[in-house]
Amino acid sequence: MKTGKAAVFVKPYEFEITELPTLPIDSDGILVKITSSAICGTDLHYWRGELKPKAPGKPGPIILGHEMTGKIDSLGSNITTDSMGQKLKEGDRVAFPYFFPCRRCYNCMRLEFNNCPNRFRFRGSINELPYCNGGFAEYYYLFPGHFVFKVPDELPEEATTSVNCALSQVIYGLQQGGMKIGDSVVIQGAGGLGINAAAAASEMGAANIIVIDGIENRLELARKCGATHTININEITDKNERIEHVKKITNQRGADVGLEVVGYPGVVAEGISMLRNGGSYVEIGNIWDNSDATIDMSKLVWGMTKLIGIAHYDPYIIPVALDFLVRTQTKFPLTNIISHKFALDEISEAFQQSEWIGKNSTSGLTRAILVP
């Protein structure tokens, strides 16, 4: 039986490297050999202990990691094409959602696959469920019916690692926020999601793209990837001054769309105050438990603000994201988001270097990937 390494999350700040067997391949299943997995902000929340892994069954050691790409190791006998009808064979590079809608619930019947309440039923403690269900490992199993998309040959690994999370998430978020050509967009956070959001907003026709963060090297990359304006919170320390700065850029109207991708509740009220009357605030980052934000509800009412929560995306966004990367690979240096590479055995060091709390620089690190 084939085995592979996995980095098992045991408790906050602690991983254990172990060798585990792979799953038998169903005739409609696909075993993926992971080629790279990124450390997303969500993973840092888990690592710090701010967020408990949402998985069925009893709690226990679990394999984290969801922002990944890989190549087909073993293909079920019934699988000949990807979800778009392109021919598939062993060795092909693929991208896929890290969640798995059941297609047999109320939300799935309404084609709201990202809203499926059962989409993480395949994940859980390694004591209960097969281990090929997390990105910080050598293998990942796509169960029968999982969406899968062939990666264009011209895209480098550094461009495709984050397709199934950061890039697809923000493209879907901008769409749900109703962004139009000529709009002004304010993006809170210049990590992987924020920088991808700047590029996506630029390609979608935004006139003003304002990115806010406290780490200058990230803001510099955001400017190269479509941001027309940046705000460093260490230079403009007062939130009211930041709000007024956004108003000045937008002819005192405020932004049409706001994206929160920094992941802390304290920024929510500030972001909403940066919007115009009738603007949309897309909340993506605050996924951790008890992330309470104090909001003056009268501002939502009188501002006629649309507050939109986004978790995951419709799977059709992945081929949209891949096409976007092919079109813009010479326009935006999105491959530079992946700044550091670590072996799977070096996962603890990778997380320590990825930690950004309390720092105003990250020694050039914007996003780290693990290469099994």
- List pLDDT tens digits, range 201-221: 999 999 999 999 999 999 999
Q: Beta strand 67-75 with 30-38: parallel, antiparallel or unpaired?
A: antiparallel
Q: Where are the beta strands (DSSP E) in the chain?
A: 3-11, 14-21, 30-38, 67-75, 93-95, 139-142, 149-150, 184-188, 208-213, 229-232, 255-260, 275-283, 306-309, 338-343, 367-371
Whose tokens are 């990124």? That residue is 38
Q: 169-196 burial, b if ≥16 CB within 10 A, otherwise e?
A: bbbbbbbbbebeeebbbbbbbbbbbbbb
How sure is the predictor about 356, in pLDDT bands with cuts at 50, 70 and 90? confident
Q: How far apart are CA 171 and CA 226, in angstroms?
A: 14
Give me the mean pLDDT over the 237-247 stretch: 98
Cα angle, residue 367 at apex, residues 365 and 372 outer, rounded to 5°: 115
Q: Beta strand 229-232 with 208-213: parallel, antiparallel or unpaired?
A: parallel
Whose tokens are 């998309």? That residue is 149
Give me the mean pLDDT over the 90-117 stretch: 96
> One-letter amino acid identity for 276?
R
Give me the domains of the chain, ranges plus CATH numbers.
Answer: 3-164+314-371 (3.90.180.10), 166-309 (3.40.50.720)
The model's pLDDT over 111-162, given as tens digits with 9 standing for 90+, comes to 999 999 999 988 889 988 888 999 999 999 999 999 999 999 999 998 999 9
Q: What is the pLDDT of residue 290?
A: 67
Q: What is the pLDDT of residue 243?
A: 98
% of the chain surpassing 70 pLDDT: 97
Determine which of 76-80, 254-258, 261-265 has the lowest per-residue pLDDT on average: 261-265
The model's pLDDT over 1-46, given as tens digits with 9 standing for 90+, comes to 789 999 999 999 999 999 999 999 999 999 999 999 999 988 998 8
Decide if pLDDT at 362 tops 80: no
Q: Which tokens sit at 138?
A: 């050598």
Give me the mean pLDDT over the 82-95 stretch: 97
Query: Where does 30-186 have alpha helices with state H?
Result: 41-48, 106-109, 157-160, 168-176
How sure is the predictor about 363, in pLDDT bands with cuts at 50, 70 and 90? low
Q: What is the pLDDT of residue 357?
A: 65
Q: Which residues pair with 81 in a beta bridge?
A: 87
Give me the mean pLDDT over the 313-328 stretch: 97
How sure is the predictor about 225, in pLDDT bands with cuts at 50, 70 and 90? very high
Helices then strands (H, E): number in the chain? Answer: 11, 15
